Amino acid sequence: MSNIDIEVLRLGHRRGRDPRITTHLALVSRAMGASKFLLAGDEDDKLFENVVSVNERFGHALDCRYEKRPLKFLRNIVNSEGNRPTIVHLTMYGEPFKTTIPSIPTENGVIVIVGGAKVPGEIFKISDYNIAVGNQPHSEVAALALFLDALTDGEGFNQEFPNAKLVIHPSKSGKDVKEV
């Protein structure tokens, strides 16, 4: 598993409109080994309950919390050692991700920002990197998965998590799920 401390911040969540996309962002974050999933926009306890349920069944304790003031959080963020993590904003208007990832410092952790309907302009300034997975309209979920896969050198989706009650094993056909 990658040793990068990764947090994902979802901006602009709308409870009545975005629960499926935001849940998928949380699930990708979890599956790729992120330690935290932060939600900004509408509070959504149901979304967090769904992630906790997946954590309980498949292992890994992705910490989820609501962030009421994401800009203030980003301006003041420091890790447990007192260092500022690298802030990466996923946007169609940024630098190409494959050529930029090697220059992203990860030793103090990485916060990945995934926008919603309207991203405040200040996000582009606060971010250390504005990264584009592609320059055409696409899914935030796809962008996050591709970025995290590249950032972790492909280690993300192939990990097993401690405390799993269920483990899915690769299978050419059918489902191979074992209770642990």
The domain spans of the chain are 6-179
Q: Which of 22-26, 106-110, 142-146, 153-157 has the lowest mean pLDDT?
A: 153-157
- DSSP string of 122-159, one letter each residue: HHHHH-SEEEES-SS---HHHHHHHHHHHHTTT-STT-
d(CA 60, CA 162): 6
The rounded distance, in Å, linking the Cα atoms of 167 and 156 is: 16
Identify the pLDDT of residue 22.
Answer: 93
Give the Cα separation of 51 and 46 in Å (integer).
Answer: 9
| Residue 135: pLDDT band with limits 50, 70, 90 | confident
pLDDT of residue 1: 47
Superfamily (CATH H level) for 6-179: SPOUT methyltransferase, trefoil knot domain (3.40.1280.10)
Distance CA 130, CA 119 (A): 12
Beta carbons of 147 and 32 less than 8 angstroms apart: no
Tell me how crowded residue 96 is: count the other CB atoms within 10 A of its CB: 12
Report pTM.
0.92
18 vs 111, higher pLDDT:
111
Are 113 and 89 contacting, i.e. CB atoms less than 8 angstroms apart? yes
Model confidence at 19, pLDDT cuts 50, 70, 90, reads: confident
Q: What is the pLDDT of residue 155?
A: 82
Report percent pLDDT > 90 for the chain: 64
More confident residue, 164 or 112: 112
- Strand 166-168 relative to strand 177-179, pairing: antiparallel
Q: Supply the DSSP symbol for 101.
A: G
The helix/strand/coil state of 90 is: strand
Mean pLDDT within 127-134: 95
DSSP helix/strand/coil, 99:
helix
User: pLDDT of 73-129, one tens digit each?
Assistant: 999 998 888 899 999 999 988 999 999 999 999 999 999 999 977 899 999 999 999
- How many residues does this entry show for the chain? 180
